[in-house]
């Protein structure tokens, strides 16, 4: 009996020590977070042009001046879409006028009020393109932008000339439920996220960006992490997916998916559901690239070359 009591006392002391260490660690992270936040305010970031939408400003970057226009849309939580897509945009600019749209809550765009419903997101994009005087275009999206793009195409069919998916989400993912956004708030408020950014800056930078651009990326990443638009969008993940469950691409719309091999290998449904999405489409194709979810970070040249072949074949 004495042995049992002794063990319980030791466990109790260990638990108290662990709790104390956790509190101490969180306190240290919070203080560190406060100090770093003050320093980050000194970083001045500027790129793109601002477009007025419903009294707020959406940031847009335009690359190239070709006749054909392609509009790039980011995946969920991509801190600075214009920087994330920079290498792909520069590659595509030899064939297209490339429009990089940073939705509200992303990049240098304002944070807006209201829920981030699929209706609001697509309507704001359409208003932005109208303000820029762009009437017809190819739509391209990464990750969750596949869902928004599908809805957008069904709303503004006459304007969209084709769709390019970059390892895009599919309606089948409604089974995964909403994104646990509460974790983001905990990581930011506690200071853990800030600490990780400073201890592992290479994990938050892109090797092809200049030192200044990576400083911008770090600043924007911190500014936008867990903002109200990102949180709202994550909470509405399932509801937004519900809106596209029965939607499909128009038969005559050319659609090409670039899928990452890691996504295909990780989920049995990934290839199957993308094949289902282009079933019945007159000209649809799937290209699997050996890499991770952010395939546009690795295969910008291959994507541009394949698009040239794809559009030529679809016209023939």
3-class SS string, the chain: CHHHHHHHHHHHHHHHHHHHHHHHHHHHHHHHHHHHHHHHCCCCCCCCEEEEECCEEEEEEEECCCCCEEEEECCCCCCCHHHHCHHHHHHHCCCCEEEEEECCCCCCCCCCCCCCCHHHHHHHHHHHHHHCCCCCEEEEEECCHHHHHHHHHHHCCCCEEEEEEECCCCHHHHHHCCCCCHHHHHHHHHCHHHHHHHHCHHHHCCCCCCHHHHHHHHHHHHHHCCCHHHHHHHHCHHHHHHCCCCCCCCCCCCEEEEEEHHHHHHCHHHHHHHHHHCCCCCCEEEEEECCCCCHHHCCHHHHHHHHHHHHHHHHC
Topology given in CATH for the domain delimited by 58-181+226-315: Rossmann fold (3.40.50)
pLDDT at 274: 97
pLDDT digits (tens, 9 = 90+) for 110-159: 999 999 999 999 999 999 999 999 999 999 999 999 999 999 999 999 99
pLDDT digits (tens, 9 = 90+) for 1-51: 554 455 555 555 555 555 545 555 555 555 555 555 555 555 678 899 999
Share of the chain above pLDDT 70, in %: 86
Domain ranges in the chain are 58-181+226-315
pLDDT at 36: 55
């Amino acid at each position: 009996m004495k042995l049992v009591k002794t063990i319980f006392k030791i466990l109790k002391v260990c638990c108290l020590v662990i709790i104390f260490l956790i509190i101490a660690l969180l306190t240290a992270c919070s203080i560190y977070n406060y100090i770093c936040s003050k320093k980050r305010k000194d970083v001045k970031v500027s790129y793109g042009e601002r477009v007025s939408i419903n009294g707020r400003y959406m940031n847009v970057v335009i690359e190239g001046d070709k006749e054909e226009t392609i509009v790039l849309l980011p995946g969920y939580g991509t801190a600075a879409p214009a920087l994330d897509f920079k290498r792909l945009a520069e590659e595509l600019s030899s064939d297209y006028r490339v429009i990089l749209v940073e939705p509200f809550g992303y990049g240098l765009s304002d944070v807006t009020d209201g829920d981030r419903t699929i209706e609001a997101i697509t309507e704001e994009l359409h208003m932005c393109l109208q303000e820029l005087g762009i009437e017809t275009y190819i739509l391209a999206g990464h990750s969750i932008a596949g869902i928004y793009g599908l809805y957008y195409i069904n709303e503004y069919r006459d304007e969209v000339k084709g769709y390019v998916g970059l390892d895009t989400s599919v309606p089948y993912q409604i089974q995964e439920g909403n994104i646990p956004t509460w974790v983001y708030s905990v990581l930011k408020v506690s200071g853990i996220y800030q600490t990780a950014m400073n201890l592992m800056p290479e994990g938050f930078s892109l090797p092809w960006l200049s030192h200044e651009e990576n400083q911008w990326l770090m600043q924007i990443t911190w500014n936008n992490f867990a903002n109200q638009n990102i949180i709202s969008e994550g909470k509405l993940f399932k509801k937004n997916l519900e809106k596209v469950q029965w939607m499909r691409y128009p038969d005559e719309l050319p659609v090409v998916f670039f899928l990452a091999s890691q996504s295909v290998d990780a989920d049995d449904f990934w290839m199957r559901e993308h094949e289902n999405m282009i079933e019945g489409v007159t000209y649809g194709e799937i290209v699997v690239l050996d890499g991770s979810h952010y395939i546009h970070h690795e295969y910008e040249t291959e994507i541009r070359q394949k698009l040239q072949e794809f559009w030529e074949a679809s016209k023939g």
